[in-house]
Amino acid sequence: MNGRSLLLLGGLILVVAFVALKRTRISETQDRETDVLVIAIASDIETLDPPFSRFQRSNETNLNVFDQFFRYASRDTGKGYRVADVGTIEGAAIESWDWLDGQRRLALKIRRDTVFAKTGRTVTADDFACWFERAYGTDSGTLWNVETAKITKAEKTGDYEMTLHFSDPSPWFFSLFRDQSQAPIDHVAAAQHVESDDEWATRWLSKNDVGSGEFYVISWEPGVKMVLKANSKYWAGRAFFDEVELRIVPNSTARALLLREGEVDIATDLSTDELQALRGAPDVKVLSIPTRNQMILGFNTNTPPLDNVKVRQALSYAVPYELIHEGIFKGRGLVSAGPIPVQGRFHDSSLWPYAFDLEKARALLEEAGYPEGFELTLDIAQGQPLTEQVAVVLQDTFSQIAVKLRINPQSSAIFAEQLGTLEHQAWMRDLLWYVDDPGYTGELFFKTGAVSNWMGYSNLELDEVIRQLSVMVDPAGKARLAETYQKLIITDAPVLFLAELPFEIAMREEIDGYVQLPDNLLWYYPLYRKKDR
């Protein structure tokens, strides 16, 4: 009967196809002469115009595509990676500098015969002057750095000299001006693409990089991949890799697999479970570096019941700090102990009274007038396995003091926007303190009306301490101020300090030369591939 024979034939073809496919272990990748560093990243680059980039992915690309004013020196830790030495500053786009009349003025010497990679124009003081004009004109991220550094005026004092004027001495100037957005762009090329409704050519610059950095973009397939080429005329010499391919792989597991299969050299933003699985894989190494990245749960201190300080303190006692550290982070990173990270300067663990003590929590709740507990909605960003695991643990421990926690995963865009408009009742995310200075953190996060004060928190006494910290250069004075800073925040407890996260990155065994920067951005320049393997 033709039906039956048809079926047998079909079955036969299937078996043969399977065996054939299995047998031909053609290498999955096409080998190429040039050495390319392939990095699997989670999402597409938002913009190539540094002042307007909000997400880590764009910051990282801009760090490597533009030449920043300054950079940190780096030292070897002997554990297979180097770390940025926050204390020593090196010049990058700026060759040398010196402070004048008591740190009120700074004379900058711009590095000579450096060239914009795509246009070939040499970098001059005009580019820097235009950079400052654009900062003021676009009222964007770069302007915040300029104002926080208390710069009042930037004037061009020669073809390759600039002078910056300060209202007060600025302890954070260098940490701010090594940021990835503080980098000159070819103002002539930018000027050609100005349009009637876009005088600073933001639309063109978001798609086109005209920098003088270590790499420059040669191809960009939105949603698929971006390829950077090494800038052969870079002043510190060409990078080891000819090209860097940023391959967009939204699924974190897929990124981990690509690394394990050897199809990519580095996989970023992986969950602890994936990193745990990769630790056992051959030819793969996972670097775990302690950083000042804290998992923080912020309260909206204006809405009851979280406007009551006793309630906030009660919740501080209801956090199982040890369990989170051992269970979720598998003992890596550190147990959090206050607003200043444990490894930060001026950190004082003795000031931290909170521990996992449900009795105390219940007592405080009673005092606060909520013996039978209350409902609380915790917003978190989707696709963050770590945050979700911590939230689930908190949900359980809070329920033991009759606080009903509802976890609400939101899309990252909505989560970020609602942070700005204070619409969360409670939120949780990991926060990275770029600058190891309580004043800077206070200025950014705890001061009344601060840009990232997503708690609507206000404590005038604390504001005064932060103001003093922002102009204090003498270390002894800073230590005294830092102590009151920590006491105030700990007693007020506007946020819960849940854990200090290690920065973990997985890469092929043969990739070396990794430098850990304070903002956890991946710097492609120092990386190289060990050939002896």
Partner 1 sequence: MVANQLPEFSAARLFARRSLYGRMVEANGAWRVHLNLALLLVILVLGVLAPLLPLQDPVKPDPLGSLRPPSSEHLFGTDTHGMDVFARVIHAIRADFALALSSVVIGALIGAPLGALSGYLGGWFDNFTTRVTEVFQGFPQILFAMAILAAAGNTLLNVVLVVAFYNIPVYSKMVRSVVVPLREVEYVQAAKVASVPTLGIVFRYILPNALVPVFSQLPLSCAYAVQMIAGLSFLGLGVTIPTPEWGSMIQLGANQMIFGHWWPSVFPGLALFLSVWLLSNVSDLLKSLVVRRS
Partner 2 sequence: MLESARQWCLFLLKRLGFLCISLIGVSLVTFVVTHQIGDPVYLLVGPKHTQEMLDNMVRELGLDQPLYAQYCRYISRLAQGDLGVSRYTFSPVLSDIRLRLPATLELSTYALLLGVLWAVPLGLIAGRHKKSWAAKFADLSARAGASMPAFWLGLLLIFVFYAELHWLPAPMGRIGRGFEVGTVTGWYTIDSLLAGNWSAFGSSVRHLVLPALTLAFTTSPSILLITRNTMAEVMKTDYIRTAKSFGMPPQTISRYAVRNLLVPVSTMIAMTYGYLLSGTVLVEVVFTWPGLGFYAVEAMNHSDYEPIMAVVLLSAGFYLLVYVLSDILSAIIDPRIRVGG
Please report, as ranges, the residues that interact with partner 2 according to CB under 8 A.
Answer: 1-4, 6-7, 10, 18, 21-22, 24, 26-32, 38, 43-44, 46-47, 206, 222-224, 247, 249-251, 254, 257-258, 261, 263-264, 382-383, 410-414, 417, 420-421
Closest by alpha carbon to 49, among 217, 165, 176? 217
Least separation in angstroms between CB 250 and partner 1: 12
Least separation in angstroms between CB 18 and partner 2: 7
User: Residue 437 has which token pair?
Assistant: 């200075």
Concatenated DSSP letters for 47-104?
A: -S-GGG--SHHHHHHHHHHS--SEEEEEEE-SSSSEEEEEEEEEESSEEEEEEETTTT
User: Residue 431 has which token pair?
Assistant: 């926060």
User: Residue 23 has which token pair?
Assistant: 């047998």
Contact string 392-421 vs partner 1 (x = CB under 8 A) = xx-xx---------xxxx------------
Least separation in angstroms between CB 57 and partner 2: 11
For partner 1, which is the closer residue by CB, 394 or 517? Answer: 394
For partner 2, which is the closer residue by CB, 1 or 460? Answer: 1
For partner 2, which is the closer residue by CB, 14 or 323? Answer: 14
Cis peptide before 305 (omega within 30 of 0): yes
- Residue 491 contact partner, candidates partner 2, partner 1, none, CB within 5 to 8 A by sort of partner: none
For partner 2, which is the closer residue by CB, 58 or 294? Answer: 58
- Residue 274 contact partner, candidates partner 2, partner 1, none, CB within 5 to 8 A by sort of partner: partner 1
Closest by alpha carbon to 130, among 180, 188, 203? 188
Give the number of residues written for the chain: 533
- Residue 421 contact partner, candidates partner 2, partner 1, none, CB within 5 to 8 A by sort of partner: partner 2
- Residue 326 contact partner, candidates partner 2, partner 1, none, CB within 5 to 8 A by sort of partner: partner 1
Closest by alpha carbon to 291, among 329, 250, 254, 241? 329
Neighbours of 268 (CB within 10 A): 22
Q: Give 489's contacts (C-beta < 8 A, 6+ positions apart).
A: 338, 339, 446, 462
For partner 2, which is the closer residue by CB, 28 or 372? Answer: 28
Closest by alpha carbon to 182, among 132, 137, 231? 132
Q: Are 361 and 389 in contact (CB under 8 A)?
A: no
Contact string 329-368 vs partner 1 (x = CB under 8 A) = ----------------------------------------
Q: What are phi and psi of 275, to 5 degrees?
A: -65, -40
Q: Binders of partner 1 among 243-262, rule CB under 8 A? A: 251-253, 256-257
For partner 2, which is the closer residue by CB, 96 or 411? Answer: 411
For partner 1, which is the closer residue by CB, 189 or 407? Answer: 407
- Residue 126 contact partner, candidates partner 1, partner 2, none, CB within 5 to 8 A by sort of partner: none
125 contacts partner 1 (rule: CB under 8 A): no
CA–CA separation, 175 vs 70, rounded Å? 9
Query: In this chain, which of 92, 277, 490, 496 binds partner 1, going by CB under 8 A?
Result: 277
For partner 1, which is the closer residue by CB, 63 or 275? Answer: 275
389 contacts partner 1 (rule: CB under 8 A): yes
Residue for token pair 């002997």: 78
Q: Give 230's contacts (C-beta < 8 A, 6+ positions apart).
A: 214, 215, 238, 239, 241, 242, 243, 244
